[in-house]
Amino acid sequence: MTSSTIRSTRGRGRLFDSILDTVGDTPVIRINNLAPEGVRLYVKAEFFNPAASVKDRLALNIIEAAERSGKLKPGQTVVEATSGNTGIGLAMVCAQKGYPLVITMAESFSVERRRLMRLLGAKVILTPRAQKATGMYNKAVELAEKNGWFLARQFETEANADIHESTTAQEILNDFAGDRLDYLVTGYGTGGTVTGLARVLRKARPETRIVLTEPANAALVSSGIAQPRLENGSPASAHPAFEPHPIQGWTPDFIPLVLQECLDNGGFDEMIPVAGADGIAWARKLAAQEGILTGISGGSTFAVAMQVAQRAEPGSVILAMLPDTGERYLSTPLFQDIADDMDEEERALSLSTPGYQLG
């Protein structure tokens, strides 16, 4: 596609009081090169949030809801278990608001995540990979109880789905006002996105089919096995259907209480599992053919959206959620085959002119 006019911008027409005021209002972007003919395929690019993921939304609302209720006191330490994106969002929020932050995270998650959190001022406590998400979760609970810290409880708190009900869903309604929206595709980590969206779309856009996806080798919801829970809704044990998978940020080794609302209320129409390798492949295609840099979770959601698009009726409109940026995956299989050094074709191009060549 080419443009015959020079692009111009005019600013947002406002000045922002802090980085926190830039959370939300992420763009919906059309897929032009990869979409099958006859349908319109869009992605909601959550990496436009200031700390580059959808979890900025819930991080901000968890802290501000706790401030409003009085559960979080000035200067009190915040602690949370996270695979990374919630922790990065919390680190941004806590840096701006002046709260110390301690993160617990399984050692299996990418080093970029822990370094970003530490850069933003958080302390990161690593837990053994063999103990999976349940281990990092229980470590956060231990630290909160011992020290009197505020436990963010992203997997259980109402503040999680609430922010998607009041922001993400409203943005989608406004962006598709007067237009079709036949399918919305999303994965789940905590379940906040799909639960909040379902609350709104079931009423405002009942014709929109909500497609949920999860890792094919960790199909907790598809298994039909109920999650054992404690009285407060937290997991009593790991889910028996869980296996380690490469889609970081998705599907911990338990079904979160936040997601349970969606499951109990029929908040989705179809579940399509996806292989991690397919998510990696489609994330690479999005980057190389659309210029859209997303992570493995975004590639996995898009892989399912492509399945939906290929079978959809002509004229259908499909929206896929892209949770975060690809730069958060530099040490993961997403970049495994991306070389640091020049390949043969690049070396040949370098040698095609006489100057400025590496020795």
CATH number at residue 104: 3.40.50.1100
Q: Are residues 301 and 233 in the same domain?
A: yes
Q: Are residues 267 and 183 in the same domain?
A: yes
In a domain, 355, yes or no: no
Q: Which of 151, 186, 214 is the last residue of a domain?
A: 151
pTM score of the predicted model:
0.95
53, 83, 110, 297: the active-site residue: 297
In a domain, 348, yes or no: no
Which residue range is the domain that position 78 belongs to?
55-151
Q: Are residues 284 and 175 in the same domain?
A: yes
Q: What are the pLDDT tens digits along the chain (359 aa)?
A: 566 799 999 999 999 999 999 999 999 999 999 999 999 999 999 999 999 999 999 999 999 999 999 999 999 999 999 988 999 999 999 999 999 999 999 998 889 999 999 999 999 999 999 998 899 999 999 999 999 999 999 999 999 999 999 999 999 999 999 999 999 999 999 999 999 999 999 999 999 999 999 999 999 999 999 999 999 999 999 999 999 999 999 999 999 999 999 999 999 999 999 999 999 999 999 999 999 999 999 999 999 999 999 999 999 999 999 999 999 999 999 999 999 999 999 999 999 999 998 87
The beta strands (E) that lie in the chain are given as: 28-30, 40-45, 78-81, 101-106, 123-127, 150-151, 183-186, 209-212, 270-271, 317-322
44, 55, 132, 139: the active-site residue: 55
In a domain, 238, yes or no: yes
Asked whether the beta carbons of 107 and 81 are under 8 A apart, the reply is no
For residue 69, indicate whether it is catalytic. Answer: no
Q: Are residues 195 and 329 in the same domain?
A: yes
For residue 297, indicate whether it is catalytic. Answer: yes
